[in-house]
Amino acid sequence: MPEDLLAAARSAPGFMPDDEGAALYAAARDAIPGPLLEVGSYLGKSTLYLAAAARERGGVVVTVDHHRGSEEHQPGWEYHDPSLVDPAVGRIDTLPGFRHTIATAGAEDVVVAVVARGETLAALWTGPLALAFIDGSHTDESAQRDYASWAPHVAIGGVLAIHDVFPDPADGGQAPHRIYRKAVESGEFTELTGCGSLRLLRRVRPCALS
């Protein structure tokens, strides 16, 4: 991984451990030809690992996030950061921090940021993806919606990456684990070697809904 982007990713605010980020970068770098897409960007830490892969591939990574924060980022929740609240509207706004992360890393040339809900962009998306990385809100409703919206867009031979997959409920929320199990049990994906809470799956059969 390019040293400048690796250093920027390591120092960026966020929740992606470096070993998992490196595994995500490698999966994106080695994926089949096609677009890379990230669902849920927060302040851009994981985006930089994908940006490094995009630069090596001679392409871009598209990120989609409404930038109003997940449920766990709202007031009264575990990961709430008051400094991210826009006083003009009284709501979380992670977009300025995200742009700062990408700009200071010198990665604006390989990151295309879409400010929208994931399902809104998915309804407009028409081409196959080389890699889709799902790391949005971790409620069951949101995780299931992200999976239903984006898994069908992964090309045959492409990679579906899911973050924060914890088999043991004592280690973390179960919504990402449930969509990971859904992908495996669908027969449409086969599991690759992941890292920590990052699961990597390759599409081997067309989506049943396509």
| 100 noted as active-site residue | no
Residues 6+ apart with CB under 8 A from 181: none
Residue 24 · residue 133 · CB < 8 Å: yes
Query: And the tokens for 52?
Result: 């490094």
Residue 126 · residue 153 · CB < 8 Å: no
Give 195's DSSP letter: B
Q: Which of 138, 153, 163, 177 is catalytic?
A: 138
Report the b/e string of 48-74 with b at 16+ CB within 10 A.
Answer: bbbbbbbbbbebbbbbbbbbbbbeebe
Q: Which positions are annotated as active-site residues? A: 138
